With several copies, the nearest count.
Chain A
Amino acid sequence: MAASLVPKIYRSANKPTWCPGCGDYGVLEATTRALATLQVEPHRVAVVSGIGCSSRFPIFLNAYGFHSVHGRVLPIATGLKVANPELTVLAVGGDGDGLAIGAGHFPHAARRNPDITYIMMDNSIYGLTKGQISPTSRLQQRSSTTPWGNVDRPLNPVAMAVAAGASFVARGVSWAVAELADLIRQGIEHRGFAFIHAVSPCPTFNNTLAQIKPRVAPLPQGYDPTDPVRAFELALHTEALHTGVLYREPETIPYEERLAALEPPTVQDRQTFLQSLIDAYR
């Protein structure tokens, strides 16, 4: 194939319908670059999403896409990967999609560890429904559902991913496209569940760019990404928002391979096996 697959090839004919300045453009760009770096052919890529502005993502990609329902991106992607392990499977969606209605699936995808790269576009707001607080909205934040200020303390996606046992946890920001592309590339290359927390502001309903930008910081010198306690500690930092690979499990076997390894020594012919089962019921 040589290096013939340029980023543009991964874009579909459908022009993104996001607002001007939406962070999700950067994430889309980073994703196509990561795919181009890996030279994976479009027909071998499948992208699953939930519902939300960010979840429109697959519509703009040249790949197999499944724009599903709100919150179910991870179990859908898990089923897809287990059934069709040859595919490069991406799961994408918003902070509401993944941490509100989808919160129950996140720890289970993490602990099972299928070889999926999950990009959560976090704008700390519900974009598509026009600006309600999300699970990562800050305390006191005003929104259409918090006119008196938000009283729900924000969730910490990175800390939760580490606690649930995700084997690869990284953070990037939508405006640092090259770094984000590299993180996504590493996530795809990682053999197991890779969680990419992609901070991706929503200028229309929650323009946090100015607040967040000054807090973005690289990982400390000599940082050891294989220590979950350290990753947890860093995730709790409030003054700095560290980008990079915060956690990576050195040796990990993806879920679909563990499942495959379960099989009795030889997989049998279905007819023969069925006959033997029938006989056992006599």
Chain B
Amino acid sequence: MQPIDLVFRFGGESGEGVISCGEIFAQAAARAGREIYTVRTFPAEIRGGHAVYQVRVGDDLLLSQGDRVDVLVAFNGEGYEKGLPDLRPGGILVCDGDQVTPDPSFDGTAYPIPFTTLARDQVGSLRAKNMVVLGAVAELFDLPREVLFSLVAQRFARKGEEAQEANRRALEAGAAYVRDHVTKQDPYRIGTGPHTGRVVLSGNEAVALGALAAGLTFFAGYPITPASDIMENLVRWLPQVGGRLVQAEDEIAALAMVLGASFGGARAMTATSGPGLSLMVELLGLASAAELPAVVVDVQRAGPSTGMPTKEEQGDLNLAVWGAHGEGPRIVLGATSVADAFQTTVQAFDLAERYQCPVIVLSDQFLGFRKASVAPPPVDEIRPSYRILARRNGAYRRFQLTESGISPAAVPGMVGLQHVITGLEHDEFGRPAYDPARRTQMMAKRARKMALAAQEPGMTRRWGHPEPVLGVLGWGSQEGVIREAVARANREGYRVAALHTRMLWPLPHGEIRAFLRQVKAVLVPEVNFSGQFANLLRTQFTIEPHRLTKSDGLPFRPVDIYEKIKEVYPDGR
């Protein structure tokens, strides 16, 4: 058993099964005891367009998809052409020999294999091509055969014996061709690794599991890429623990249902993407004013407008933080990795209930769809709080002015605590009241909740040099990439540290301030056009950060950030 770190990319026409080929490959590698980290892109069109699935297989904790591709698996000419620029010099190409002839100048190792012919002639179906590819790649890179075959059998268990048989034949056709006609010319093999007992999850799966573990009892949502599968998982799970899920008529109805359920005492949540969050703005304000717990997950995608539904962007931070007419309490969290997506979702419910306000969780396309091998989430240790409840004791004041700003709640059905909640400004009893003094008190009461939330512990993570000259401030799904870039910079002698902020609003002032005090210069890398997090930081801290932004629909590579660190590094190492 030998430590490895290899990046495989599968590329081809959407509809050819590129994605499922890559997914099975990744999961099989994880079952074989390797760490995996995948990235997935596909076109928004149902048919047509270029699909890519990238899998990094390794033994260290994998923090990013890596900088370059080691093995390019090209299903067709487009997969070859679009993939080539990212293939490392001397890299390995596995391609459909029926469709691709590598350029004479290609300097790596090429394994052309007639995938199309094999599928057509030996399996009798062009649709089996992706399984042929899988069989060949597994054979070529020594992915344990039993693991692969049993995984495929398990995944297609419901498809019937005939389909199972076709799959086996296809895998075997690929493998046999490699055994019989290909001479291995590279040293790479997956074999088996030490990391057994891992689970392979996508960010969206981690969110759904986190919600379930946090005690979710009600979900309403409206389908939207790339968030739909959170609902699609929960609808299978929730009824099995007595919860309820409604596919709403739109996002406004979805959040409205969530607020109704929350008023009724449920732990309630919805999940959407940018266009849906835009539609929820008015009701988010209602939740702030009426002091209702609610969790809203936004799996961001590239905007503006419909934008690029299947592409990456951290473009909704502005909206999540500032998207409200008037001002009311709201918490915004950023999920940073697959493992963290679970934890952050759990925390979102905890904070929503404790502070009685909406909590927005920002995930994104890249995090939502990529799979990683992670330690099994600690589902049995989770005990999120529930909103503090009132006792019957004189006339009930739902919006009682307290020192913390948090007022004991009452849920319909509780005897004698009838009251009205409203989005109108109100007095302690919930009655509409506009006089300046009371209004000022109510605004201050709600704001006190946020001041308290800003002190929640553990809302940043820090790593890198203990006495840094340059500080990298990041958020959300770019955590791993930043971490990898910082580690590399540290190895190269740069005194760099990173602080990753998990609570984006209110900002954890104490921890950020302490970090800023240590560093001479600040770099804020984020996947959006203007540097939204940099702007947000500037509203609270007097800094002039270097910005590293991009909005081309792709996440950062570690090297992007590493190069920028070198560029902006304040003085010699």
Residues of A at the B interface (CB closer than 8 Å) are 12, 14, 17-20, 41-46, 48, 51, 53, 56, 58-59, 62-72, 75-84, 86-87, 100-101, 103-105, 108, 112, 126-130, 132-133, 135, 144-148, 152, 204, 256, 259, 262-264, 267-271, 273-275, 277-278, 281-282
Within the complex, the shortest CB–CB distance from B385 to chain A, in Å, comes to 17
Q: Pick the contact of B240 from A42, A79, A86, A264 — CB < 8 Å?
A: A264
Within the complex, the shortest CB–CB distance from A77 to chain B, in Å, comes to 6
On whether the beta carbons of A282 and B218 are closer than 8 Å, the reply is: no
Additional 14 contacts, C-beta under 8 A, given A64-B412, A267-B241? A70-B306, A76-B260, A76-B263, A79-B218, A79-B261, A80-B261, A80-B263, A82-B218, A84-B261, A84-B266, A101-B251, A129-B225, A259-B246, A264-B239
Q: Which residues of chain B in 41-79 are interfacial with respect to chain A, using CB atoms and an 8 Å cutoff?
A: 44-49
On whether the beta carbons of A105 and B423 are closer than 8 Å, the reply is: no
On whether the beta carbons of B306 and A69 are closer than 8 Å, the reply is: yes
Task: Jot down 5 A-B pairs with beta carbons below 8 A, ordered by A.
Answer: A64-B420, A66-B422, A68-B256, A264-B239, A267-B242
Say whether, besides A104-B249, A273-B240, A281-B199, A83 and B217 are in contact (CB < 8 Å): yes
On whether the beta carbons of B418 and A83 are closer than 8 Å, the reply is: no
Q: Pick the contact of B376 from A17, A18, A259, A278 — CB < 8 Å?
A: A278
Say whether, besides A43-B412, A100-B222, A281-B200, A274 and B228 are in contact (CB < 8 Å): no
Within the complex, the shortest CB–CB distance from B150 to chain A, in Å, comes to 12
Partner-contacting stretch, out of B282-290, B347-355, B450-458: B282-290
Once the chains are docked, how many angstroms separate the CA of A67 from the CA of B420? Answer: 7
Residue of B nearest to A132 (CB): B223
Using Cβ atoms and an 8 Å threshold, which residues of chain B touch A269? 241
Using Cβ atoms and an 8 Å threshold, which residues of chain A touch B430? 65
Digitize B189-218: 1 where CB-to-A-CB distance is under 8 Å, 0 elsewhere.
000000001111100010001001101011
Once the chains are docked, how many angstroms separate the CA of A120 from the CA of B4? Answer: 54
Once the chains are docked, how many angstroms separate the CA of A132 from the CA of B264? Answer: 27
Within the complex, the shortest CB–CB distance from A162 to chain B, in Å, comes to 19
Chain B contact surface mostly? mixed
Within the complex, the shortest CB–CB distance from B221 to chain A, in Å, comes to 8
Residue of A nearest to B279 (CB): A101
Partner-contacting stretch, out of B89-97, B119-127, B230-238: B230-238
Digitize B278-303: 1 where CB-to-A-CB distance is under 8 Å, 0 elsewhere.
00001100100010000000000000
Using Cβ atoms and an 8 Å threshold, which residues of chain A touch B248? 75, 108
Within the complex, the shortest CB–CB distance from A193 to chain B, in Å, comes to 14
Once the chains are docked, how many angstroms separate the CA of A67 from the CA of B47? Answer: 18
Once the chains are docked, how many angstroms separate the CA of A120 from the CA of B114? Answer: 44
Residue of A nearest to B395 (CB): A13
Q: Which residues of chain B in 108-147 are interfacial with respect to chain A, using CB atoms and an 8 Å cutoff?
A: none
Say whether, besides A64-B418, A273-B241, A80 and B413 are in contact (CB < 8 Å): no
Once the chains are docked, how many angstroms separate the CA of A231 from the CA of B232? Answer: 38
On whether the beta carbons of A65 and B421 are closer than 8 Å, the reply is: yes
Chain A contact surface mostly? loop
On whether the beta carbons of B46 and A17 are closer than 8 Å, the reply is: yes
Within the complex, the shortest CB–CB distance from A107 to chain B, in Å, comes to 8
Residue of A nearest to B410 (CB): A64
Within the complex, the shortest CB–CB distance from B556 to chain A, in Å, comes to 27
Once the chains are docked, how many angstroms separate the CA of A129 from the CA of B45? Answer: 10
Within the complex, the shortest CB–CB distance from B514 to chain A, in Å, comes to 37
Q: Which residues of chain B in 443-467 are interfacial with respect to chain A, using CB atoms and an 8 Å cutoff?
A: none
On whether the beta carbons of B416 and A43 are closer than 8 Å, the reply is: yes
Once the chains are docked, how many angstroms separate the CA of A108 from the CA of B247? Answer: 11
On whether the beta carbons of A72 and B264 are closer than 8 Å, the reply is: no
Using Cβ atoms and an 8 Å threshold, which residues of chain B touch A43? 412-418
Using Cβ atoms and an 8 Å threshold, which residues of chain B touch A45? 412
Using Cβ atoms and an 8 Å threshold, which residues of chain A touch B275? 69-70
Once the chains are docked, how many angstroms separate the CA of A112 from the CA of B41? Answer: 36
Q: Does B265 contact A (CB under 8 A)?
A: yes
Once the chains are docked, how many angstroms separate the CA of A81 from the CA of B413? Answer: 12
Residue of B nearest to A147 (CB): B236
On whether the beta carbons of B228 and A46 are closer than 8 Å, the reply is: no
Say whether, besides A146-B235, A259-B244, A80 and B264 are in contact (CB < 8 Å): yes
On whether the beta carbons of B377 and A278 are closer than 8 Å, the reply is: yes
Q: Does B252 contact A (CB under 8 A)?
A: yes
Using Cβ atoms and an 8 Å threshold, which residues of chain B touch A78? 246, 257, 260
5 A-B pairs closest in CB distance: A79-B260, A79-B257, A84-B264, A65-B420, A83-B261
Say whether, besides A17-B47, A65-B419, A105 and B283 are in contact (CB < 8 Å): no
Once the chains are docked, how many angstroms separate the CA of A204 from the CA of B377? Answer: 35
Q: Does B557 contact A (CB under 8 A)?
A: no
Digitize B319-356: 1 where CB-to-A-CB distance is under 8 Å, 0 elsewhere.
00000000000000000000000000000000000000
Residue of B nearest to A91 (CB): B260
Say whether, besides A65-B420, A79-B246, A48 and B260 are in contact (CB < 8 Å): yes
Once the chains are docked, how many angstroms separate the CA of A221 from the CA of B212? Answer: 55
Once the chains are docked, how many angstroms separate the CA of A265 from the CA of B197? Answer: 31
Within the complex, the shortest CB–CB distance from B394 to chain A, in Å, comes to 13
Using Cβ atoms and an 8 Å threshold, which residues of chain B touch A135? 249
On whether the beta carbons of A19 and B379 are closer than 8 Å, the reply is: no
Q: Does B224 contact A (CB under 8 A)?
A: yes
Q: Pick the contact of A64 from B247, B419, B423 — CB < 8 Å?
A: B419
Within the complex, the shortest CB–CB distance from B19 to chain A, in Å, comes to 12
Q: Pick the contact of A105 from B212, B247, B249, B290 — CB < 8 Å?
A: B249
Q: Which residues of chain B in 346-374 are interfacial with respect to chain A, using CB atoms and an 8 Å cutoff?
A: none
Residue of A nearest to B376 (CB): A278
Residue of A nearest to B416 (CB): A43
Once the chains are docked, how many angstroms separate the CA of A147 from the CA of B229? Answer: 13
Q: Pick the contact of A268 from B209, B241, B282 — CB < 8 Å?
A: B241
Using Cβ atoms and an 8 Å threshold, which residues of chain A touch B268? 79, 83
On whether the beta carbons of A79 and B259 are closer than 8 Å, the reply is: yes
Q: Which residues of chain B in 1-52 are interfacial with respect to chain A, using CB atoms and an 8 Å cutoff?
A: 31, 44-49
Once the chains are docked, how many angstroms separate the CA of A97 from the CA of B231? Answer: 19
Say whether, besides A59-B432, A69-B423, A145-B231, A101 and B250 are in contact (CB < 8 Å): yes
Say whether, besides A64-B419, A72-B256, A278-B379, A82 and B249 are in contact (CB < 8 Å): no
Using Cβ atoms and an 8 Å threshold, which residues of chain A touch B416? 43
Digitize B406-443: 1 where CB-to-A-CB distance is under 8 Å, 0 elsewhere.
00001111111111111110000011100000000000
Using Cβ atoms and an 8 Å threshold, which residues of chain B touch A268? 240-241
Within the complex, the shortest CB–CB distance from A57 to chain B, in Å, comes to 10
Once the chains are docked, how many angstroms separate the CA of A198 from the CA of B306? Answer: 25
Using Cβ atoms and an 8 Å threshold, which residues of chain B touch A48? 260
Using Cβ atoms and an 8 Å threshold, which residues of chain B touch A152? 247
Once the chains are docked, how many angstroms separate the CA of A49 from the CA of B254? Answer: 17
